[in-house]
Amino acid sequence: MITMQLAERLAQQGFIRRRGLLIAKCPENAVLRIQCIIRRDRSDNRLLGTLYIGIRFQKIEELLDRFDDPYIPTISDSLGHLQSEEDKPIWEWNAEKPEIISRLLEEIQTYAFPFFEKFQDLQALALALRSKNCRDWPGCDRVLVMAAILVLKKGKVSAVNFLNREIDLLRTTTNPWDAGKRTEWQKLRDKIHCADIPEVLGDALFIEPTEPISILAPPPPDPLGEKFILSNEWGLRRHQPNWNFVEWVARRLDAGAGNSFCCLEALDGSYVQVLKGINGCHLEWRVMTGDSPNGYRHYRASYPEGATADVKLQKLDFVHSGKAGELLHVDDAIDCLRCFYYQTGLPVWLNWRVLEL
């Protein structure tokens, strides 16, 4: 119902309704996308809504060959993430209030349209992807998207050289997400190197990155943060994170639009990772132990009471299986990260199921 009403109001801006989404075509063979996701809050039974926005660049997706769905975005974000701290970001709106449509339209005008206008330009997008401030990043795998942009703007040699620098940074990682990313980047590098891609003359105005973008300079060290590395699906890898930054990164996870998980890893190889979906979060905790064959044991968190049937974590890009009670509220997932950060052990108010990996 909300999507239908928004479609009527945004028709003059070129948006039409397709499969529950609001879609608009724009120059450069790109597609603008607005999606309203509704969930029922288990604490008070209210319907809460979140707006996700995104842009799909067809030329980039043809090169990356990631999604069959023509509406999956290349870059995305939620409106809550686009609001500044001074605006006191609103992550979800009460979808049962009669003024919800006018409020969402106001937010779309204020935040979504400037996002669309800025990032339709690949130069502006590339500048944001290599920013040292993660608050400038749109949601995506920054390395993959930057490599694709380089193919289009500077040619395959520039893209391959860029990917080689990024891959070299992750060769010694113990983080399983980083290992997966390295493999994904290697596949793209080999594809670009072997593919019959026409060489381009090169855009003289396009500023090419000359250093890796997947590692940021560390912030002022936190005495506890020196023991950790924080990473997420976007390609963030922050050494010595302070707690406020860890929480900020965790709250900025989306439901499968390019930034749905984060991992806080200790120097001994233990870690806590959070995977966010539309209907909750899954949280896994790896504990280093000498009494297991691999030297560690994985646990999945769950509530001790509540759901009795198995419920899957619903994401925009896939479904993640799980047992009863394992869909956590994001606040509880952040509490687990906090316990790991301050080294107080597995929270006793949750149940912990051993995972056989």
Residues 342 and 228 in one domain: yes
Residues 276 and 308 in one domain: yes
Q: What is the residue type of 28?
A: E
Q: 3-class DSSP state for residue 261?
A: strand
Q: 3-class DSSP state for residue 266?
A: strand
pLDDT at 26: 77
Q: What are the pLDDT digits (tens) for 192-211? A: 888 777 666 666 667 777 77
* Residue at which a domain ends, from 195, 212, 229: 212
* Residue at which a domain ends, from 76, 98, 120: 120
pLDDT at 274: 96
Find the domain containing 205 and state its range: 122-212
Q: What is the residue type of 114?
A: P
Q: Are 52 and 77 in contact (CB under 8 A)?
A: yes
Which structure tokens are listed for 38?
A: 């509704």
pLDDT at 285: 95
Residues 193 and 244 in one domain: no
Q: Are 62 and 191 in contact (CB under 8 A)?
A: no
pLDDT at 217: 39
Residues 151 and 205 in one domain: yes
What is the number of residues in the chain? 357
Residues 146 and 263 in one domain: no
Residues 18 and 116 in one domain: yes
Give the other-Cβ count within 10 Å of 86's Cβ: 6
Q: CA–CA distance from 4 to each of 16, 35, 116, 217 (Å)? A: 9, 11, 21, 45
Q: 3-class DSSP state for residue 125?
A: helix
Give the other-Cβ count within 10 Å of 13's Cβ: 13
Could you tell me which residues come within 8 angstroms of residue 293 by beta carbon, excluding any fewer than 6 positions away? none
Q: CA-to-CA distance for 20 and 68, rounded, in angstroms?
A: 17
Residues 149 and 204 in one domain: yes
Residues 207 and 127 in one domain: yes
Q: CA-to-CA distance for 129 and 141, rounded, in angstroms?
A: 9
> Per-residue pLDDT for the chain (357 aa), expressed as one digit of tens each?
788 888 888 888 888 888 777 888 776 678 898 888 777 776 677 887 788 889 999 889 888 887 677 778 888 888 877 776 665 556 677 888 888 888 888 889 988 999 999 998 888 999 998 887 777 888 888 889 999 999 988 888 889 999 998 888 777 665 556 667 788 888 899 988 887 776 666 666 677 777 777 654 344 445 555 689 999 888 788 888 888 889 888 988 888 877 899 999 998 889 999 999 888 899 999 998 866 667 888 999 998 875 667 788 888 777 888 888 898 888 889 989 988 998 888 888 889 999 876
Into how many domains does the chain fold? 3
What 242-249 contacts at long range (C-beta under 8 Å, 24+ apart), as own/partner pairs, is 243/338, 243/341, 243/342, 245/219, 246/337, 246/341, 247/334, 247/337, 247/338, 249/134
Placement of tokens 């965790």 in the chain: 250
pLDDT at 251: 85
Residues 111 and 225 in one domain: no
- Among the listed residues 72, 53, 52, 54, the one whose alpha carbon sits nearest the alpha carbon of residue 62: 72
Residues 81 and 174 in one domain: no
Phi-psi region of 235 (alpha: psi -120 to 50; beta: other; left: phi over 0): left
pLDDT at 148: 92
Q: Are 338 and 321 in contact (CB under 8 A)?
A: no
* Residue at which a domain ends, from 179, 212, 245: 212
pTM of the model: 0.66
Residues 133 and 143 in one domain: yes
Residues 315, 321, 327, 332: what is their CA dihedral angle, to the nearest 10 degrees? -90
Q: CA-to-CA distance for 357 and 353, rounded, in angstroms?
A: 12
Residues 351 and 220 in one domain: yes
